[in-house]
Structure 1
Amino acid sequence: MADISTTSTSEEGYTTVSRAGDYELTIDATGGDGPDPNAVLVADYASCFIPAFRVGGQQEGHDDLGKITVESEADLDDDDDLTAIRFEMHVEADLDDETFDAIVERAEGICHVHSALREELHADIDVHGGQF
């Protein structure tokens, strides 16, 4: 039996409705009726990285990082394949760069999406503390 089961259906055109449990997400290859698959992947990566970053913070002795926002950017080649991903992280906690680097390193080992991506697509991550 599978650990994850989803259903994706396209009635016509390039729009697909995907169901994961009780949740539904509309994805459109053209970006007209919803985000395109690459945007969904980048958002999914950031959504996975934030809780991994929080766990990494706890492992480094920082239980309360406060609010965290990730501004993501990605580059595409001429075939619309992802070639680079960047995260600009804004964290309420005001920690030094060395501590943030240690937390990022731990988060990279925890985030399942990070582990699933080929290495050249791992996000280039900048963290800024004392935000908000």
Structure 2
Amino acid sequence: MSDINITSTCEEGYTTNSVVGNFDLVIDATGEDGPDPNATLVADYASCFIPAFRVGANKEGFDDIGTVQIESSAELDDGDDLESISFEVHVEADLGDSVDDVVARAEDICHVHSALREGLHADITVTDGADL
């Protein structure tokens, strides 16, 4: 039995509706009816990295780091394949000298980070003490 079961359907054109548990996710290859697959992957990566960042901070001794926000950007090659991803992480807490350790732990914990080829891992910068 599989751990994850998703049904994805495209009735015509390039828009796909995926049923993920009790949720519908619309992805459109043209970006007209929903985010395109590359944008969805980048958003999924950031959405996985944020809780991993929180766990990493907790393991480094931070009980409450407040709001965490990631501004993601990505570059595409000539074939519209993802070439690079960057995260600008803003976190309310002042992590001081622990920032790199928190990021390293988050990279180890984030399932999407582990799934992507090494050359596509996000370049990550953190702004701690951010007023969010």
- TM bucket, shorter chain: over 0.9
Within a 5 Å distance, the mapping from 1:90-105 to structure 2 comes to 90-96=90-96, 98-105=97-104
The 4+ residue runs of structure 1 with deviation greater than 3 A are none
Deviations 1:85-126 (CA, angstroms, capped at 9, x unpaired): 000000000121x31110000000000000000000000000
1:86 aligned counterpart, secondary structure: strand
Q: Distance in 2 between matches of 1:63 and 1:46?
A: 21
2:78 aligned counterpart, secondary structure: coil
Residue 131 of structure 1: how far off its partner (Å) = 0.8
2:130 aligned counterpart, secondary structure: coil
Structure 1 match to 2:58: 58
Structure 1 match to 2:68: 68
Q: Distance in 2 between matches of 1:120 and 1:112?
A: 16
Structure 1 match to 2:85: 85
Structure 2 match to 1:30: 30
Structure 2 match to 1:117: 116
Structure 2 match to 1:16: 16
2:31 aligned counterpart, secondary structure: coil
Task: Give the TM-score of the pair, scaled to structure 2.
Answer: 0.98
Percent identity between the aligned chains?
Answer: 67
Task: Give the TM-score of the pair, scaled to structure 1.
Answer: 0.98
Q: Distance in 2 between matches of 1:30 and 1:78?
A: 16
Q: How many residues align?
A: 131
User: Which ranges in structure 1 are unaligned for 5 or more consecutive residues?
Assistant: none
Cα RMSD between the aligned structures?
A: 0.5
Q: Distance in 1 between matches of 2:104 and 2:63?
A: 17
Q: Distance in 2 between matches of 1:95 and 1:52?
A: 15
Q: Distance in 1 between matches of 2:129 and 2:108?
A: 24
Residue 63 of structure 1: how far off its partner (Å) = 1.3
Residue 84 of structure 1: how far off its partner (Å) = 0.3
